[in-house]
């Protein structure tokens, strides 16, 4: 397809490499993907007030290439397969573009193809860092915080956080959703989180269906009042799913990996779909 030989490399040893990647804990993975001082900054209690990640340091550390390789190994643990014809042999790497070329059907693709990352222009390191920030945060993170931490626009941060949250959907048990009467809880389009937390507590107290540990509800209320400033009824089930997911994974040392796996396996949701009816 016009690339010269020097631009191509046969894929070797991906199986062995991916095994190592699959068992790396969150801590091990991020320390390989990002410079230490960037992680230090992110882990500060009030990360949003610190300077944004130093793009040059991230580039010098090779973060984008490392994140790409990490995602490739998570997506194709048995070796790269063509998303179009499913061939697992005769796939060449096009180094300069971070893409692959399938000899069988001539399709050129990257790790983003067919995932929620496909239509995104954001560098992969911003995606991975956003997932890490969301994974690390005990109470969830608002789009405003994410905007500060990543140095992106509010719109981008909002979209990013919703897409990541979307990958946690269907995590809350059905009866947990049933116990939250969304329509009654949020009669208008927007409601102050404090009010919401209060209403939620009252509703849970009177609900006989709420056979869940109090901690889930406490976590939900705390999340809602700590992080989410503009909450609409439409997105509330997604927040409940997020809190349930966090609660279930509170001791998961592989949370970054698991969230990324969901992200690259999740179906795409467009910005238009997200904002419709908000
Ligand atoms: Zn193919």
pLDDT tens digits along 28-74: 999 999 999 888 887 776 655 666 778 899 999 999 999 999 999 99
List, in order, residues 6 or more apart from 202 with CB less than 8 Å away: none
Confidence (pLDDT) at 236: 72
Question: pLDDT of 73-127, one tens digit each?
Answer: 999 988 999 999 999 999 999 987 889 999 999 999 999 998 888 888 899 999 9
pLDDT band at 130; cut points 50, 70, 90: very high
10 phi, psi to nearest 5 deg: -70, 150
More confident residue, 130 or 9: 130
More confident residue, 270 or 261: 261
Contact call for residues 163 and 156 (beta carbons, < 8 A): no
CA of 127 to the centre of ligand 1 (A): 26
Structure tokens at 83: 């998303």
Confidence (pLDDT) at 2: 40
Confidence (pLDDT) at 47: 57
Containing 164, the helix (H) or strand (E) segment is helix 154-166
Residue 149 pLDDT exceeds 50? yes
Total residues belonging to the chain? 278
Confidence (pLDDT) at 38: 87
pTM above 0.85, yes or no: no
CA of 44 to the centre of ligand 1 (A): 45
Question: pLDDT of 204-254, one tens digit each?
Answer: 555 544 445 555 566 666 666 555 545 566 677 777 777 777 777 878 898
SS3 128: helix
Q: Put residue 98 in one of left, alpha, beta given phi > 0 → left and psi -120 to 50 → alpha.
A: left
Question: pLDDT of 151-190, one tens digit each?
Answer: 889 889 988 888 888 877 766 666 566 666 565 555 554 5
CA of 271 to the centre of ligand 1 (A): 29
CA of 264 to the centre of ligand 1 (A): 19
CA of 80 to the centre of ligand 1 (A): 11
CA distance 195 to 201: 10
CA of 97 to the centre of ligand 1 (A): 18
- Measured on CA atoms in the order 236, 238, 241, 242, is the torsion positive or negative? negative
SS3 54: coil
CA of 85 to the centre of ligand 1 (A): 4
CA of 83 to the centre of ligand 1 (A): 7
Cα 66 to chain centroid, rounded: 17
C-alpha distances in Å from residue 152, one per residue of 5, 45, 139, 166: 37, 20, 21, 20
Q: Put residue 133 in one of left, alpha, beta given phi > 0 → left and psi -120 to 50 → alpha.
A: alpha
CA of 93 to the centre of ligand 1 (A): 13
Q: What is the dihedral of CA 249, 190, 225, 26, to 10 degrees?
A: 30
Residue 1 pLDDT exceeds 60? no
Confidence (pLDDT) at 262: 87
Confidence (pLDDT) at 33: 96
Count of H-run helices and E-run strands, the chain = 15, 6
Q: What is the dihedral of CA 83, 84, 90, 91, to 10 degrees?
A: -40
CA of 126 to the centre of ligand 1 (A): 29
Q: Indicate the average pLDDT of the chain.
A: 75
Confidence (pLDDT) at 24: 87
CA of 21 to the centre of ligand 1 (A): 25
Confidence (pLDDT) at 145: 81
Question: If we measure between CA atoms, which residue out of 273, 276, 196, 205 comes closest to residue 231?
Answer: 196
CA of 15 to the centre of ligand 1 (A): 19
CA of 17 to the centre of ligand 1 (A): 23
Contact call for residues 113 and 91 (beta carbons, < 8 A): no
CA of 22 to the centre of ligand 1 (A): 25
93 phi, psi to nearest 5 deg: -95, 135
Question: If we measure between CA atoms, which residue out of 42, 266, 278, 26 comes closest to residue 163?
Answer: 266
CA of 111 to the centre of ligand 1 (A): 14
End-to-end CA separation in angstroms for the chain: 45
């Amino acid at each position: 397809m016009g690339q010269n030989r020097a631009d191509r490399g046969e894929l070797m040893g991906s199986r062995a490499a991916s095994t190592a990647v699959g068992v790396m804990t969150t801590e091990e993975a991020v320390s390989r993907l990002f410079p230490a001082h960037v992680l230090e900054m992110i882990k500060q209690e009030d990360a949003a007030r610190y300077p944004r990640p130093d793009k040059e340091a991230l580039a010098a550390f090779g973060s984008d290439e490392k994140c790409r390789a990490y995602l490739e190994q998570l997506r194709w643990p048995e070796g790269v397969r063509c998303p179009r014809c499913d061939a697992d042999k005769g796939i060449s790497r096009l180094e300069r573009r971070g893409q692959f070329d399938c000899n069988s059907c001539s399709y050129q693709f990257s790790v983003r193809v067919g995932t929620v990352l496909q239509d995104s222009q954001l560098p992969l390191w911003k995606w991975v860092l956003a997932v890490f920030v969301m994974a690390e945060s005990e109470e969830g993170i608002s789009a405003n915080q994410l905007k500060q931490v990543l140095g992106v626009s509010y719109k981008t941060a909002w979209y990013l956080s919703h897409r990541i949250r979307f990958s946690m959907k269907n995590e809350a048990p059905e009866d947990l959703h049933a116990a939250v009467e969304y329509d009654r809880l949020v009669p208008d389009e927007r409601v102050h989180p404090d009010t919401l937390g209060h209403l939620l507590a009252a509703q849970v107290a009177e609900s006989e269906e709420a056979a869940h540990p109090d901690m889930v509800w406490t976590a939900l209320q705390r999340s809602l009042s700590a992080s989410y400033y503009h909450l609409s009824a439409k997105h509330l089930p997604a927040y409940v799913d997020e809190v349930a997911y966090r609660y279930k994974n509170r001791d998961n040392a592989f949370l970054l990996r698991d969230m990324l796996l969901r992200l690259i396996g999740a179906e795409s949701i467009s910005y238009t779909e997200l904002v419709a009816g908000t």
